[in-house]
Amino acid sequence: MKIQIKRNSGSKIRSLLISSIAIFSFFAVQSSFSQNSINKFSDPVIREIHDLADRRDSLALLPFLRDSNPNYRGEALMCFGSVQSIGLIDSIAPALNSDFNGIRIAAAFALGQTFHTKAVPYILSAIERDTVKLVKGMLFDALGKCGEESHLQWLAAQNVDFQESEGQAQGILRFALRGIIMPEGNSRMVEIIKKGSSTVGVIFASYHLGRYTDTLWLSNNVVELEELYRNERDPLVSSNLIMAIIKARQNEAWPYAEDILQSDADYREKVNILKTLGQSNWDKARKLIYKLAIGQDPNLAVAAAEAIERNAGKEDLRKHLKAISKVKNWRARALLLGRAMEISIDKKNLPGKIGRRILAYYTDSENNAEKAWLLKCLVSSPEKYGFVEQQLNNRDKIVSTYAMETLTLMAKHENCNQAKEKLAAEGIDLNKEFLRIFRSGISSGDIAIISMAASILRDPQLAYIELITDVGFLERALEQTQTPDLIEAKNELLATLAYLSGKKEAGKTTPVYNHPIDWERVMRIPSKQLLGFNTSKGEILVQLNVNWCPGTVSAFLELVEEGFYDNKTIHRVVPNFVVQDGCPRGDGWGGPPFSIRSEFTPAPFLPGVLGMASSGKDTEGSQWFLTHTATPHLDGKYTNFGFVVSGMEVVHQLEVGDVIERVVVIK
């Protein structure tokens, strides 16, 4: 049966029960939504609790779990959700017996955040005896973070009511995020959508079906999935369900996909289709996908170009070259140019012509982000390494960074052996040339170039270990990477030194505590502080949550007041995922001269959430992102410290290279 295409007829009415808000309802000071209301940190004990968490002093936090004031016990438990101390599971678990609902919810969150099986007996015992639905929901979520396959089977078998179903959906999805999936969980997610749950619960259920359910199960249940899709009006849910249907239908999926791609459906649904369509549909899909790639919508153009990059073959070359001449979006054009280099390899003179066209675009462009993307178009031509190497000296960091990334990809490309033979005839040893470049990069003092160069040296397929006889250059570089802003380079150097020395890979280090929370600043921040983001595409109004994330909000506002974020270029946009900014270098590798702590909360990453980017726990600095859609794989692993109040239409239109002209604190 053909799927009925949905028009913009409004969202299905559902009760929006977001457990993460209810969790804090027992903290009366947090319940105000007034811009001018005072935050909770006028209380010196609450400041002390969060300060100890910021210092990761878990032992000093322990006494607060026994405090006579339930607010303080709850605060400490929520802070343990960020500290994530496996060794203190036994100390946290007794809070599951509290008479206060909020404390039991906070304890469940803290235990879940350990992601350790040691917490499971405590969680299961609490599920059996607790009768409060919001508490059980958070316990289901915690079980999904810590449990094993048998626990997923048990959770999926539970018949729960509407209020508990959100937690059940979250728990089953948390299992899937850890690679634990079974048919019973898939079936329960279908039941949750059919019978109804909170908006969050249904989004989580559809996310699981679209992204983590195996093709065989989907194929066996596709008729039911299509019925769910026909009845769905929430674009976040339908965009996930259509992924499941396309995976199920496989080579029969195109009629469904074609109708949607040509409709006025939400762009996120179309992007998910483009991400899901594979080679089996390419013959039927290519004409429309090329049309989308040259269209006006930036998200669809890029997503279509990415689909072309994955699927286009030599037989598409003529259509491909025509599309390049018509494409409007520079990112889409760069993706098409890169694929053109790949599929024209057997044509005698064509790769050279396309290469010259890329260099012409590079020379003519005044957009450094575009220049960077154009460099990556040369990946399949390792013999052009000399030109790319010259760009390592470009004053704009995004160009030099992409130059190094391109060189590392060239060294691994399947065409590299052919290039080696060609250059050998000219007396050039390409292997040694790449090694020379990477050694020089490690001595550059640049975080991005050091990191990528160090990483490529331990690629076993390239066998640089056979050519490197002295690791002194790595040791000297390591001595220069001791500041918080170079932590990624430090970790890559440590890993490469361990590899070259034949030792077990060193564990990643995190920055030492270097930026204490400014409590004087925190106490002046309204509980619902508003920020205005003035962008080249329009204005976005964001509300911050200092009560949940005092260290993050304080540091963010510190940088705002310094003008740090003004005139920064958006360096990353992933259609139907995130917009990312806040990098002073413009390439995603930069930050302030300090790092701050992760502040994890139970708040889900829904559309329009403001989060902090990181390279691992406690490595946050200045980079932030706004979500296009629900992204539950980020929950409890990234700092969620605000949300868009107005201007989501602007968020959806932002592109790489657009500018955040100014960030303003709304008084």
User: Tens digits of per-residue pLDDT, 569-587?
Assistant: 999 999 999 999 999 999 9
Q: Has residue 543 got a pLDDT over 80?
A: yes
Mean pLDDT for the stretch of residues 72-99: 97
Mean pLDDT for the stretch of residues 69-81: 97
- pLDDT tens track for 427-467: 999 999 999 999 999 999 999 999 999 999 999 999 999 99
3-state helix, strand, coil in the chain (%, to 5): 60, 5, 35
Average pLDDT, the chain: 93
Q: Are strands 538-544 and 624-627 parallel, antiparallel or unpaired?
A: unpaired
pLDDT of res. 22: 41
Compute the distance between CA of residue 155 and CA of residue 254 in angstroms, rounded to an integer: 36
Q: Is the pTM of this model over 0.85?
A: yes
Higher pLDDT, 667 or 597: 597
Q: Where are the alpha helices (DSSP H) in 196-234?
A: 199-211, 215-220, 222-231
Structure tokens at 475: 């040791």
Q: Has residue 13 got a pLDDT over 80?
A: no
Which residue carries 């322990």 as its tokens? 62
pLDDT of res. 458: 95
Mean pLDDT for the stretch of residues 373-387: 97
Q: Has residue 39 got a pLDDT over 70?
A: yes
Q: Has residue 71 got a pLDDT over 80?
A: yes
pLDDT of res. 484: 87
Is 578:662 a contact under the CB 8 Å cutoff?
A: no
Compute the distance between CA of residue 660 and CA of residue 245 in angstroms, rounded to an integer: 38
Give the sign of the dihedral formed by CA 410, CA 476, CA 448, CA 510: positive
Compute the distance between CA of residue 519 and CA of residue 498 in angstroms, rounded to an integer: 41
Cα three-residue angle 490-493-494, rounded to 5 degrees: 85
pLDDT of res. 9: 32
Mean pLDDT for the stretch of residues 278-307: 96
Q: In 38-123, which ranges are E strands?
A: none
User: Residue 656 CB: number of other CB atoms within 10 A?
Assistant: 23
Mean pLDDT for the stretch of residues 406-419: 96
- pLDDT tens track for 184-215: 999 999 999 999 889 999 999 999 999 999 99
pLDDT of res. 590: 96
Compute the distance between CA of residue 457 and CA of residue 404 in angstroms, rounded to an integer: 13
Mean pLDDT for the stretch of residues 94-108: 97
Provide the percentage of residues in the chain whose pLDDT is more than 90.
89
pLDDT of res. 346: 87
Give 540's strand partners.
533
Residue 45: which pLDDT band, with cuts at 50, 70 and 90? very high
Structure tokens at 415: 């065409």
Which residue carries 């066996």 as its tokens? 220
pLDDT of res. 36: 55
Mean pLDDT for the stretch of residues 412-425: 95
pLDDT of res. 103: 97
Beta-carbon contacts of residue 287 (< 8 Å; ≥ 6 apart): 319
Q: Among 106-110, 348-352, 454-458, 468-472, where is mean pLDDT lowest?
A: 348-352
